Amino acid sequence: MSEQRDIVMGIDLGTTNSLVAVCDEAGPRILRDARGEGRVPSFMTLGSDGRVTVGWKAKEHAVENPTSTVYSIKRLMGRGFDELAAGGELAQLPYKVVKRVAGEADRDIAGIEIDGQVLTPPELSAHILRELRERACRQLGCDVRRAVITVPAYFDDAQRQATRDAGRIAGLEVLRIINEPTAAALAYGLGVRGLFEHERPPAPKGGASVLPLAGACSSGDGQKPEQSGPTGAESIIAVYDLGGGTFDVSILRIVEDVFEVLSTHGDTRLGGDDMDREIITLVQREIREQFGLEIESPATRQALRTLAENIKIHLSTEAKASLEIDLGQGRLYRRTLTREEFEAMIEPWVERTLDSCRRALADAHLEPGSIDQVVLVGGSTRMPRVRQRVEELFGRKPYTALNPDEVVALGAAVQAGILGGVRRDALLLDVIPLSLGIETLGGAMGKLILRNSRIPCQATERFSTFVDGQTNVKINVLQGERELAKDCRSLGEFELRGIPPMPAGIPKLLVTFLIDENGILNVSAREERSGREASIQIVPTHGLTAEEVERMEREAYAHAREDMQAHRLIDLRNQVVFDTQKTEQMLERAGDGLNNEERATIEGSIRELRAMAETSQDADRLFEALQAFDRKTVRLAELAITRTLSQADDANTSSGHR
């Protein structure tokens, strides 16, 4: 990357896992941890001391901290408590979701209560975004603050604004919000011209998956597409995106480097979590029938959720899986679940995704046979039944060479590269997923912008007053496809104030709805006779106000230093575990080369360092102790290296004699 200011991250903020990627002249690449893992589980544990642990550690200890570990937060973004409670989604969560008390009585905001503190979904998502940003900063060696964040194509305005708010709270400048299937198509399409003529290159070393700009795509299943797409040819692709909590399908036309979304459809309450819940429901029912027990404790529910997820993953590669749960007092629940049983359980969910595919095809005026390629995105597409049903619908084997976990982040990085000036040869033409309109007299939905309209777009409508001398007009902005306002989702109400008092019907109010490139609604209004103008920012009834976001942003900035120190302390403690374990291994391998005093010193240092890591809150002191420990083990490390080289020489000599 030519200049540090040009670096823009691409972030896939997922229900189950999140990833960060960047794009340079060599192409987009996933940023990985020391183990080569690109995924960061979208789990976080909030400690009683206010510290937040994000990622693998939070996920691994979820059963131990059931009420303070939050996951699947994406499914709560931009949604109200009443909506979630009515849908029955809160009953399965081990953590507590409450209705947040806001300044305005008509706002319905869901919050997660932990140790008496109520946090909103954007605040919690901001912790995940900070973790991804810190990974980028560490690996790129500079402060990265600009990002492109992906969202499900079927996210509505409130959910998109909540995602943007999460970015702001995390200290990010969100340059663009793009749809996940569109990002996947961008990652797929960049290699489409050479994809069919070349073998896939070997995966690069150094902990990054690179997507070549004019060649095969790496990090996948090694599958080649069925047919070629010559340079300049039009390619129609369907992106089937089934993640942990959401589903989308988008139909796109790709011509050269122009990516045009023809239609999109989906469900923001359908994903792998729902299929896990089928296993959970089965186990709960059978335990109730066999033992008369109800699984109610948060820890047990958290453990059952983890078990269900593991069983689902196991059945993607095996024909059956064994379940065993010790219920105490000699009660043991045991059964074998076959893949056929599981597939029958999830069939209604899979069928719902296919219904969305049919709807998207109809909106694009296409038949399944018109699709040149079907691209699978999202970890849940690894299930054999999903792939089988998708193949049956489209009449062709889905393309799986792209890693379904990583392709969205790679596409986001490509778009980030475009905005950062790294690439200038790709154009995205996306659409809005749902119609927008206002409530008219009698409670009808008056649609101004229809679903699958290309963004950015705008529509203008003229209004007037119905009361003499009226100076304010209230407008209810709606999103949805139903004909009655009560059946659509209210994005929020606002008032146009300061209209000069005139007789009813005389004022001419010109209201403009503008959908920006992020798919987010902005509203402006002008009274034509007086020239009075106003711009209104819609605040969703399920969202945070601008003032609330600014406050959260300030708080995050104010606590940035202590948060960084806390994160540094976690990293140092992990380093202590790693270094002491490696030292113990070296002692076993080469410790006989030390005298008794040297060995005793090292063993004592291991105990002291581990004890300090468990109790110390001083990151600087722990860092100094680690450095001192490294100096004490230099001689042991030299002995271990010498022993290893000697053994290698002996093996080579022995091999040569044979």
> Which residues carry out catalysis?
12, 74, 180, 241
Would you say 8 and 146 are in contact if contact means Cβ atoms under 8 Å apart? yes
CB burial class (10 A; 0-12, 13-18, 19+) of residue 581? exposed
d(CA 408, CA 414): 10
Residue closest to 454 by CA, chosen among 181, 260, 267 = 260
Residue closest to 110 by CA, chosen among 143, 140, 135, 74 = 74
Would you say 521 and 515 are in contact if contact means Cβ atoms under 8 Å apart? yes
d(CA 187, CA 217): 8
Quick check: helix, strand or coil at residue 15? coil
Q: Quote the tokens at residue 104.
A: 């305005």
Would you say 156 and 479 are in contact if contact means Cβ atoms under 8 Å apart? yes
Contacts of 270 (CB under 8 A, 6+ apart): 242, 246, 247, 349, 352, 353
Q: CA of 498: how far to CAs of 58, 257, 464, 477, 536, in Å?
A: 52, 48, 14, 20, 13
* DSSP per-residue letters across 202-253: PPPSSS--B--TTS---SS--PPPSS---TT-EEEEEEEEE-SS-EEEEEEE
C-alpha count within 13 angstroms, C-beta hemisphere, residue 117: 14
Q: DSSP alpha helices (H): ranges in 292-379?
A: 298-314, 339-363
Residue closest to 341 by CA, chosen among 369, 312, 362, 309 = 312
Contacts of 579 (CB under 8 A, 6+ apart): 609, 626, 629, 630
Would you say 32 and 167 are in contact if contact means Cβ atoms under 8 Å apart? no
Q: To which residue do tokens 């900035």 refer?
A: 557
Would you say 132 and 18 are in contact if contact means Cβ atoms under 8 Å apart? yes
Residue closest to 191 by CA, chosen among 218, 173, 168 = 218
Q: Quote the tokens at residue 503.
A: 């007789």
Would you say 273 and 177 are in contact if contact means Cβ atoms under 8 Å apart? no
Would you say 110 and 120 are in contact if contact means Cβ atoms under 8 Å apart? yes
CB burial class (10 A; 0-12, 13-18, 19+) of residue 571? middle
Answer whether the bond into residue 398 is a cis peptide, omega within 30°: no
Q: Quote the tokens at residue 339.
A: 């893949």
